Amino acid sequence: MQKRALAIHDISCLGRCSLTVALPILSAAGINTAVVPTALLSTHTGEFTGYTHLDLTEQLLPIATHLASLGLHFDAFYTGYLAFPQQVELVLAMRQMLCDAQTQVFVDPAFADHGRLYSLMPATMPAQMRALVKTAHIIVPNLTEATFLLGEAYRPTGYDENYIHGLAARLSALGPQSIVITDVSLSEHETGVAVYHRDSGDFQLHFKPKFQGVFHGTGDVFASFLLSALLGGLSLDAATRLALRLTHECIRLTLEGGEPLRYGVQFERVLPELIAALAGQGD
């Protein structure tokens, strides 16, 4: 039977991020994807000015109530950018309404990067987001979000594998079974991800050569590739390696094509690779 996911993110009319990448990636993977937008923006908030921002907080529970009345099973409950701290409480209520024991709660706590909160994000967001993280099965924070969730200082450089291992273990102690931390670099030439399983204690690091630049939306792209692979039957470690490879290829193709980076990475061009990998035709 076809898998079904619910994606709760904002939507930017221009700029590849949040729902404009989550929906096509999950759909390409054969996943029947419903969406609940948390806010509507004319563009994303990185490197654009003058953007519009429509708060959709009041729509969240009415949408969830209607969806709950349909009696659907969701294989994944996927949350990303929440526009305001009060939306966290509403999403927790939605989780109770729309998830069952078989639903995988997958949280991308999208509120910060490069050592600072996103534009428009209040200082209370990390503490609020911690409540949602506690209910998740898998979380996918970047290094900034990982430290902010723990109330720790962000360390852009000067850390080692043991530090990242400890960070992942401390995050798992909040509640999630599995942790995938992005934007991990042990050298200036590589960047990658850390994978930690609480029950087994297994910890893995995976790296790719580092490209220079700021690549907007890659966290959403990576998380959406990762969830697609998990729902396609891959193990967390295999799904992480696939998501990292595809995200790296998106960035390479974008740099090769010369499109301004503020428009996001060209994920569309690697969707055939995702489909082939999930069909057992890729590595």
User: Distance between CA 214 and CA 184 in Å, rounded?
Assistant: 15
Mean pLDDT for the stretch of residues 106-115: 95
Q: In this structure, what DSSP letter does residue 15 have?
A: S
Residue 283 pLDDT greater than 60, yes or no: no
User: Distance between CA 241 and CA 237 in Å, rounded?
Assistant: 6
Side chain identity, residue 137: H
- What pTM was computed for the model? 0.96
Residue 242 pLDDT greater than 90, yes or no: yes
Whole-number percent of the chain with pLDDT over 90: 90
Residue 280 pLDDT greater than 90, yes or no: no
Q: In the prediction, which pLDDT does 47 show? A: 87
pLDDT digits (tens, 9 = 90+) for 143-152: 999 999 999 9
User: Distance between CA 11 and CA 43 in Å, rounded?
Assistant: 9
End-to-end CA distance of the chain: 24
Whole-number percent of the chain with pLDDT over 70: 99
Mean pLDDT for the stretch of residues 57-66: 98
User: Distance between CA 181 and CA 128 in Å, rounded?
Assistant: 19
